[in-house]
Amino acid sequence: MVELSVARESWPIRGAFTISRGSRTTAEVVVVGLSDGTHTGRGECVPYPRYDETVDGVIQEIEGLRDALAQGLDRHALQDRLPAGAARNALDCAFWDLEAKQAGKRVWELAGLSEPQPVPTAYTLSLDTPARMAVSAKDNAERPLLKLKLSGPDDLDRVAAVRSNAPDARLIVDANEGWTADQYRNLAEELRDLGVDMIEQPLPAADDEGLAGIVRPVPVCADESCHDRASLDALAGKYDMVNIKLDKTGGLTEALALKAEAEAAGFAVMVGCMLATSLAMAPAVLLGQEVEIVDLDGPLLLAKDRDGGLTFEGSFIHPPSAGLWG
């Protein structure tokens, strides 16, 4: 039986963060606390308008379980009480943190995982003009992996500008559902020649049949098309990789299951994030061990991270301290 606390927080972004769907200057998050009177577990989520989520709506979902939590609702029962999404993510991760504190162990031990090691993360370059993205690339040319936000027109120029200013970096690109099937076919070979390793969600999730059965010279990763294990069957033949985000899966519990099932089905795995603080990234660092791509740069894009946040050495993320989470 636990007592719930829930709060909304707003974290300024360094500059602005722009993708094909728009631009923003703050990261709006919801933080949950679950206390047994001695220990408190924390979790953070990002309500995402693309999935019809709002901060107020997510808080209402979480508050709706206050009495059930006080009466003994646990992490396992939570999986059936809320659908996959931001609200369940914050509660699920808070439960994991609380369980670790109660047991005097780390979450990775409770989950039967190997001790996590530092992992390199992608660093995201916001959608902008080719000239401005070239400047961003030059400023971050020493990073091993750059992720470019794209939108359609001028995308080839954007990638070429980044490649010329970051010649040694590995490149991945994310269209955020902003292309058509014809655009993918027209761009894929040229992007491969520019050294692009992966294209993330080129087509709208509701209209991605155009990827079925076509030659994919650059591997394609499902993001908006992949939420939890129920998504996997529809991805076969269209995608080569899945992007697992805790806010989509509804927490670490489902994310670990999705990772295992996706790998068994032959998909490569990317572990990604919404734009949030280190508290949201911490559980994903455990998930991001031994995967193809880690994209957990949220705190690097903020003007300021929360106190006691993750330690970054360049693009390498160290596992969270027990004081932060888990």
Q: Which residues are catalytic?
A: 149, 245
Give 115's contacts (C-beta < 8 A, 6+ positions apart): 108, 319
Residue 152 is encoded by which pair of tokens? 């359609």
Q: Tell me the H-state helices in the chain.
A: 55-63, 66-70, 75-81, 86-103, 107-110, 130-139, 155-165, 181-193, 246-249, 252-264, 278-287
Cα separation of 86 and 164, whole Å?
Answer: 38
* φ, ψ dihedrals at 22, nearest 5°: 145, -175
Distance between first and last Cα of the chain: 19
Within 8 A by CB and 6+ apart from 103, the residues are 110
Q: Which residues lie across from 107 on neighbouring strands? A: none
